[in-house]
Chains A and B, each alone.
Chain A
Amino acid sequence: MNPSLEPSSTFRVYVLRNVEYALQLMRQSPSASDLNVILQALEFGMQLDEAWPMVRELFIGLAPRAKRSDGVILWRSVMRAGLEQAQRRQDDDVVLMLEYHVGLLCQRMGRFDQAIQHFQRTLALAQSKKERLWQVRSYQRLGYALRSQGKWRQAERMLLLAQPLMTEEDVDEQGYGWLVLGAIRLGQHRWEEAYQCFQRTLIYWRRVADEEQLAEAQVNLGLAAIRRGWATEAEMRLRSAIEVLERSQAPEPLAVAYMNLGMLLEHNRAEEALDYLLKAEKLFRTMQDRFRLARVAVNLGRTYYALDRWADAIHAFQFGMNLWRELKRPSKELNAAVGLAASYARQGDVARARVIIEEGMATLAQARLEVGGGFLEDMFEQVLEMIEASESG
Chain B
Amino acid sequence: MGMNKAYPSTWLDAVKTLLQHRGRVLPDEWERAQIVRDATAQALEKDIDPTDILFEKAMAELEREHPHWAQILRLRYWDGETLAAIGHRVNRSQASVHRDLQAAMERLAHILWRWECRAEDAFRRAQYARLEPSTYDQLFGVESSLAALERNVLAADGPTIMVLTGMGGIGKTSLADALCRKLIVKRAFAAFGWVSLRPQISLWDERSFFRPISESQALEQIFERLAQQLLGPEGVSAPFSLENLLARLAHRLHRMPHFIVIDNLEILDGIAALMAELKRLAGPTRFLITSRVGHFEDPDAYHMKASPLDREAAIALLRHEGRRRNIRVLLEVGDDLLSTVYDKVGGNPLALRLVAGQLHTHSLSTVLDDLAQARGRSVTRLFAYIYRRAWENLEETEQSVLLAMPLLPPEGGAAEQLIAITGLSDEQVHDALETLVQQNLVDHYPAPVQSRYAVHHLTRTFLQEQAARWS
Q: In the complex, which of the residues B217, B237, B422 contacts A326, with contact meaning CB atoms closer than 8 Å?
A: B237
A21 at the interface (CB under 8 A from B): yes
How does the 8 Å CB contact mask read for B431-460 relative to A, with 1 for contact and 0 for none? 000000000000000000000000000000
Name the B residues within 8 Å of A36 (CB-CB): 409, 411
Instruction: Supply 18 A–B pairs (Cβ within 8 Å), ascending by A.
Output: A7-B399, A18-B417, A36-B409, A36-B411, A40-B409, A40-B410, A74-B224, A77-B217, A77-B221, A109-B239, A109-B241, A111-B241, A288-B238, A291-B239, A315-B48, A319-B45, A326-B237, A326-B244
Nearest-CB residue, chain A, relative to B242: A73
B392 at the interface (CB under 8 A from A): yes
B111 at the interface (CB under 8 A from A): no
B421 at the interface (CB under 8 A from A): yes
Q: How far is the CB of B246 from chain A (nearest CB, A)?
A: 12
Say whether, besides A111-B241, A326-B244, A326-B247, A37 and B413 are in contact (CB < 8 Å).
yes
B427 at the interface (CB under 8 A from A): no
Expressed in whole angstroms, the Cα–Cα distance for A77 and B236 within the complex equals: 18
A64 at the interface (CB under 8 A from B): no
Contact A1 B233 (CB under 8 A): no
Chain A interface residues (CB < 8 Å from chain B): 1-2, 4-11, 14-15, 17-18, 20-21, 24, 33, 36-37, 39-41, 43-44, 47-48, 70-74, 77, 108-111, 285-291, 293, 315, 318-319, 322, 326
Expressed in whole angstroms, the Cα–Cα distance for A5 and B216 within the complex equals: 40
Nearest-CB residue, chain A, relative to B204: A47
Nearest-CB residue, chain A, relative to B450: A33
Expressed in whole angstroms, the Cα–Cα distance for A110 and B239 within the complex equals: 4
Name the B residues within 8 Å of A287 (CB-CB): 233, 238
Q: How far is the CB of A86 from chain B (nearest CB, A)?
A: 17
Name the A residues within 8 Å of B48 (CB-CB): 315
Number of A-B residue pairs, CB cutoff 8 Å, is: 133
Say whether, besides A21-B417, A109-B239, A111-B241, A7 and B403 are in contact (CB < 8 Å).
yes
Say whether, besides A111-B239, A285-B233, A288-B234, A11 and B467 are in contact (CB < 8 Å).
yes
B326 at the interface (CB under 8 A from A): no
Q: Which of B221-239 contact A (CB under 8 A)?
A: 221, 224, 228, 233-234, 236-239
Name the A residues within 8 Å of B395 (CB-CB): 2
B47 at the interface (CB under 8 A from A): yes
- Known contacts A37-B413, A44-B201; 5 additional CB pairs below 8 A are A2-B396, A47-B202, A71-B228, A74-B221, A111-B240
Expressed in whole angstroms, the Cα–Cα distance for A288 and B239 within the complex equals: 8
Contact B238 A8 (CB under 8 A): no
Q: How far is the CB of A92 from chain B (nearest CB, A)?
A: 24
Q: Give the bracket for the number of chain B residues in contact with chain A.
A: 35 or more
Contact A11 B468 (CB under 8 A): yes
Say whether, besides A285-B234, A288-B233, A291-B239, A14 and B247 are in contact (CB < 8 Å).
no
Name the B residues within 8 Å of A111 (CB-CB): 239-241
B100 at the interface (CB under 8 A from A): no
Q: How far is the CB of B409 from chain A (nearest CB, A)?
A: 4
Q: In the complex, which of the residues B244, B417, B471 contacts A7, with contact meaning CB atoms closer than 8 Å?
A: B471
Expressed in whole angstroms, the Cα–Cα distance for A94 and B18 within the complex equals: 65
How does the 8 Å CB contact mask read for B296-311 relative to A, with 1 for contact and 0 for none? 0000000000000000
Contact B224 A71 (CB under 8 A): yes
B142 at the interface (CB under 8 A from A): no
B400 at the interface (CB under 8 A from A): yes
Name the A residues within 8 Å of B234 (CB-CB): 285, 288, 293
Q: How far is the CB of A224 from chain B (nearest CB, A)?
A: 24
B158 at the interface (CB under 8 A from A): no
Q: Which of B391-428 contact A (CB under 8 A)?
A: 391-392, 394-396, 399-400, 403-404, 407-411, 413, 417, 420-423
Name the A residues within 8 Å of B469 (CB-CB): 8
Contact B203 A44 (CB under 8 A): yes
Expressed in whole angstroms, the Cα–Cα distance for A2 and B124 within the complex equals: 48
Name the B residues within 8 Å of A11 (CB-CB): 403, 464, 467-468
Q: Which of B91-144 contact A (CB under 8 A)?
A: none
Expressed in whole angstroms, the Cα–Cα distance for A108 and B237 within the complex equals: 11
Contact B423 A17 (CB under 8 A): yes
Name the A residues within 8 Å of B45 (CB-CB): 318-319, 322
Name the B residues within 8 Å of A318 (CB-CB): 45-47
Contact A4 B396 (CB under 8 A): yes
Q: How far is the CB of A328 from chain B (nearest CB, A)?
A: 10
Contact B417 A110 (CB under 8 A): no
Contact A7 B468 (CB under 8 A): yes
Say whether, besides A73-B240, A110-B240, A288-B234, A5 and B399 are in contact (CB < 8 Å).
yes
Expressed in whole angstroms, the Cα–Cα distance for A290 and B220 within the complex equals: 19
Q: How far is the CB of A74 from chain B (nearest CB, A)?
A: 7
Nearest-CB residue, chain A, relative to B244: A326
The 5 residue pairs across chains A and B that have the minimum distance between CB atoms: A110-B239, A7-B467, A109-B240, A21-B420, A47-B203
Contact A315 B46 (CB under 8 A): yes
Nearest-CB residue, chain A, relative to B408: A40
Name the A residues within 8 Å of B468 (CB-CB): 7-8, 11
Name the B residues within 8 Å of A10 (CB-CB): 400, 403
Expressed in whole angstroms, the Cα–Cα distance for A70 and B224 within the complex equals: 11
Name the A residues within 8 Å of B224 (CB-CB): 71-74
Name the A residues within 8 Å of B221 (CB-CB): 73-74, 77
* B233, B234, B469: most-surrounded residue (chain A CB, <10 A): B234
Expressed in whole angstroms, the Cα–Cα distance for A74 and B239 within the complex equals: 15
Contact B471 A290 (CB under 8 A): no
Contact A2 B422 (CB under 8 A): no
Nearest-CB residue, chain A, relative to B394: A2
Q: Which of B309-333 contact A (CB under 8 A)?
A: none
Expressed in whole angstroms, the Cα–Cα distance for A111 and B240 within the complex equals: 7
Expressed in whole angstroms, the Cα–Cα distance for A265 and B217 within the complex equals: 45
Contact B407 A41 (CB under 8 A): yes
Contact B407 A18 (CB under 8 A): yes
Contact B470 A43 (CB under 8 A): no
